[in-house]
Amino acid sequence: MDNLFWIFISAMVINNFTLSYFLGLCPFFGVSNKIATAFRMGLANIFVLVITALCSWVLNTFILLHAPYLRLISFIIVIASSVQFVEMAVKKLSPALFKALGIFLPLITTNCAILGFALFATNKGYGLIEGLIYALGAGAGLTLALVIMAGIREETKILDIPEVIQGTALNMIIAGILSMAFMGFAGLFITS
């Protein structure tokens, strides 16, 4: 049980996909204008990461035992198709949820953090439970990064910031400072 807690904390804070591995930067910069939008994108990421954890575990356990060289292409195909099936099912079963997710669900199909998760979970040798906890931690970390960035970006709109630094330059500076701040958590969780 203690190991599952550390898998979750590590994926969420210490080895944050966005701020440590620089995966998922497209939604990080593109969707983080408003806190509500960033939070919804984060929830959609968590949902897709859990589905990816299940799919990658099934692939690794039952299908790709003797063909590890097919992992990358298999993960790409399975992630893209499973997200499309989930999108169709959500559209049919819950139109309100489909409307709330909007463009986020199809965008996640091309999010490199999802593919990175499948590869990292496989390389770490996680089983089903560890993979699901890792998915929840990684999704919570992505959500945390998106919401923090959105909150800071909302605050910068009301501040008097020089024109030279507004826009992309300011967003890059904020991302760099956030990344350094999250790297500081690694020193807090070192166990002997």
pLDDT means per 10 residues, the chain with 192 residues, are 88 92 86 84 87 93 90 90 81 78 72 91 95 97 94 90 88 93 77 44
pLDDT at res. 192: 38
Q: How far apart are CA 173 and CA 169, in angstroms?
A: 6
Three-point CA angle 25, 26, 27, nearest 5°: 95
Which residues span the domain enclosing 65?
Answer: 2-188
The CA-atom distances, in angstroms, between 71 and each of 46, 112, 120, 142, 163 are: 22, 15, 12, 24, 47
Count of structural domains within the chain: 1
Q: How far apart are CA 84 and CA 100, in angstroms?
A: 16
pLDDT at res. 131: 96
Q: How many CB atoms lie within 10 A of CB 169?
A: 11
Tokens of 182: 């999250």
pTM score: 0.88
DSSP string covering 19-37: TTS--SHHHHHHSTTSHHH
Contacts of 148 (CB under 8 A, 6+ apart): 178
pLDDT at res. 65: 85
Residue in the structure block whose two tokens are 């008097």: 160
